[in-house]
């Protein structure tokens, strides 16, 4: 009997964490603190509620699968301002998406349908990575090929290590910048090298940029800058979940190659989730506003300052170029997660659950991932507890 494809997908990281901590009892006198999940806890901008109320007359409408013209115009305007992408056209380059996860998942099916990878198509996936890429690849019938994205490679995959046979079979390469969990940011030259590779070998370069607006120094470049003006072979995936602390809105977009966007629209009209009209109106307002995004960044910067004060010199601490995670080298990430929960009521994600075992080695195993999503005081309390337990 053919093995079930779903059985080849690792358990969801949060289920694995629950199983790991099952039976471990946190101290009765320590309020549990969860740094395990990348769910922003800054207050969402009040404009969301305002627009949803104003547009409440639209809940009875079936929304267009690719987004309203107003939504796509707002996104295209943001892409022009943020990345200087004068060539972007709201009608041919932009589609809405129910958060970025949905379309990152469907991107593998699009790639398997559109590109020649032979009978055993490959999906290139950084390791560690956001777990959805691997699940998407398997369910689309592509074999995941994990590319080390470790300290040795600057936490991004080394594309010069790819051989001809691998490139021949590749239908999609996922990249994430700023990367979850490592926080590495891909430079423009690096992105341009991937774009060339995707075009030379005929595969989809799917670049997850959902953390693009969370950074401490310079704004991370985008894959579409490297692919302009035509964007051939490239799709970038964005979201309001992190930028606007609005994960519950389920609002994102895909932008890039016009031919692929048209095919993606076709695919999404079967399997994609549409965004309710009032949600699209609120999203358009959010993409048009930068004040709340800058305020958000100020809050994250303060937390990275605090973490640097408290952790510098320990656990391989480094200040990531983007995103809102700490990726700390603690020896055995699973053991540390159990101790932190049992001794301090602190929930963290073992790095092993953010990576795949490859060649008998899991590159995430020595790490834990901390999401800096709470307020500064709560983070200070959490880090105090962490250093007491993991001296
Ligand atoms: C790297 C990465 N990509 C995509 C997503 C999906 O986010 P959303 O669907 O809310 O945009 C997440 C969520 O945590 C993520 O960490």
Q: For residue range 116-161, what is the model confidence (pLDDT) as tens digits?
A: 998 899 999 999 999 999 999 999 999 999 999 999 999 999 999 9
Let me know whether 149 and 239 are in one domain.
yes
The Å distance, Cα 100 to ligand 1 centre, comes to 6
The Å distance, Cα 12 to ligand 1 centre, comes to 14
- Output the pLDDT for position 272: 86
HSE, side-chain direction, 13 A CA sphere, residue 177: 23
The Å distance, Cα 388 to ligand 1 centre, comes to 31
Let me know whether 109 and 247 are in one domain.
yes
Let me know whether 249 and 112 are in one domain.
yes
The Å distance, Cα 234 to ligand 1 centre, comes to 19
Let me know whether 190 and 58 are in one domain.
yes
Let me know whether 28 and 63 are in one domain.
no
Last residue of a domain, one of 233, 267, 289: 289
The count of residues in the chain is: 391
- Give the mutation target among 13, 37, 44, 101 for probing the ligand 1 site: most ligand atoms within 8 A of CB: 101
Let me know whether 178 and 260 are in one domain.
yes
Last residue of a domain, one of 269, 289, 309: 289
- Give the mutation target among 105, 135, 241 for probing the ligand 1 site: most ligand atoms within 8 A of CB: 241
User: Pairing state of beta strands 252-256 and 204-208?
Assistant: unpaired
CATH code for position 77: 3.40.640.10
DSSP 345: -
The Å distance, Cα 1 to ligand 1 centre, comes to 35
Dihedral sign from CA coordinates of 212, 213, 218, 219: positive
- Alpha carbon distance 134, 108 (integer Å): 9
Question: What is the C-alpha end-to-end distance of the chain, expressed in Å?
Answer: 51
- Alpha carbon distance 154, 21 (integer Å): 31
Let me know whether 203 and 252 are in one domain.
yes
**What is the residue range of 154's domain?**
47-289
Let me know whether 79 and 180 are in one domain.
yes
376: left (phi over 0), alpha (psi -120 to 50) or beta: alpha
Let me know whether 193 and 92 are in one domain.
yes
| 218, 247, 290, 341, 381 from 295: Cα distances, Å | 16, 17, 9, 32, 23
Residues with CB under 6 A from ligand 1: 38, 99-101, 104, 130, 176, 180, 208, 210, 239, 241, 247, 252
Q: What is the pLDDT along the chain (391 residues), one digit of tens a residue?
A: 677 888 888 889 999 999 999 999 999 999 999 999 999 999 999 999 999 999 999 999 999 999 999 999 999 999 999 999 999 999 999 999 999 999 999 999 999 999 999 889 999 999 999 999 999 999 999 999 999 999 999 999 999 999 999 999 999 999 999 999 999 999 999 999 999 999 999 999 999 999 999 999 999 999 999 999 999 999 999 999 999 999 999 999 999 999 999 999 999 999 989 999 999 999 999 999 999 999 999 999 999 999 999 998 999 999 999 999 999 999 999 999 999 999 999 999 999 999 999 999 999 999 999 999 999 999 999 999 999 999 8
The burial of 379, by beta-carbon neighbours within 10 Å (0-12 exposed, 13-18 middle, 19 or more buried), is given as: buried
Question: What residues contact 55, with CB distance under 8 A and at least 6 apart?
Answer: 277, 278, 281, 282
- Give the mutation target among 13, 37, 98, 99 for probing the ligand 1 site: most ligand atoms within 8 A of CB: 99
Domain count, the chain: 2
Beta bridge partners of 327: 369
Let me know whether 180 and 268 are in one domain.
yes
pLDDT in tens, 225-280: 999 999 999 999 999 999 999 999 999 999 999 999 999 999 999 998 999 999 99
Let me know whether 222 and 104 are in one domain.
yes
The Å distance, Cα 39 to ligand 1 centre, comes to 9
Let me know whether 131 and 266 are in one domain.
yes
Which residue is associated with the tokens 């995670």?
Answer: 325
Last residue of a domain, one of 244, 260, 289: 289
């Amino acid at each position: 009997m053919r093995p079930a494809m779903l059985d080849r997908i690792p358990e969801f990281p949060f289920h694995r964490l629950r199983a790991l901590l099952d039976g471990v009892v946190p101290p009765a006198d320590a309020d549990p603190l969860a740094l395990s999940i990348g769910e922003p806890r800054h207050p969402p901008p009040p404009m969301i509620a305002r627009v949803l109320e104003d547009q409440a007359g639209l809940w009875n409408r079936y929304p267009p699968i690719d987004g309203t013209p107003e939504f796509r115009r707002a996104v295209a305007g943001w892409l022009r301002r943020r990345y200087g992408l004068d060539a972007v056209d709201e009608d041919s380059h932009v589609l809405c998406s129910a958060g970025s996860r949905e379309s990152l998942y469907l991107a593998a099916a699009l790639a398997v349908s559109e590109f020649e990878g032979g009978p055993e198509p490959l999906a290139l996936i950084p390791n560690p990575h956001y777990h959805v890429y691997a699940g998407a690849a398997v369910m689309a019938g592509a074999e995941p090929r994990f590319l080390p994205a470790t300290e040795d490679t600057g936490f991004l995959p080394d594309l010069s290590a790819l051989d001809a046979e691998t490139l021949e079979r590749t239908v999609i390469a996922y990249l994430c910048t700023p990367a979850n969990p490592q926080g590495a940011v891909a430079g423009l030259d690096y992105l341009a090298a991937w774009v060339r590779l995707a075009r030379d070998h005929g595969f989809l370069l799917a670049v997850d940029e959902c953390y693009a607006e969370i950074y401490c120094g310079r704004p991370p470049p985008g894959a579409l800058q490297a692919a302009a003006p035509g964007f051939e072979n490239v799709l970038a995936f964005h979201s309001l979940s992190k930028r606007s602390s609005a994960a519950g809105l389920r609002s994102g977009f895909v932008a890039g190659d016009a031919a692929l966007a048209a095919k993606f629209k076709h695919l999404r009209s079967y399997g994609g989730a549409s965004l309710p009209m009032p949600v699209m109106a609120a999203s358009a307002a959010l993409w048009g506003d930068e004040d709340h995004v800058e305020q958000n960044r100020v809050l994250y910067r303060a937390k990275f300052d605090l973490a640097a004060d408290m952790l510098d010199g320990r656990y391989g601490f480094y200040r990531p170029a983007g995103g809102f995670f700490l990726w700390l080298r603690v020896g055995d990430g699973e053991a540390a997660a159990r101790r932190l929960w049992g001794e301090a009521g602190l929930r963290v994600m073992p790095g092993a659950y953010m990576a795949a075992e490859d060649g008998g080695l899991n590159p995430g195993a020595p790490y834990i991932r901390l999401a800096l999503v709470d307020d500064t005081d709560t983070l200070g309390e959490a880090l105090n507890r962490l250093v007491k337990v993991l001296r």
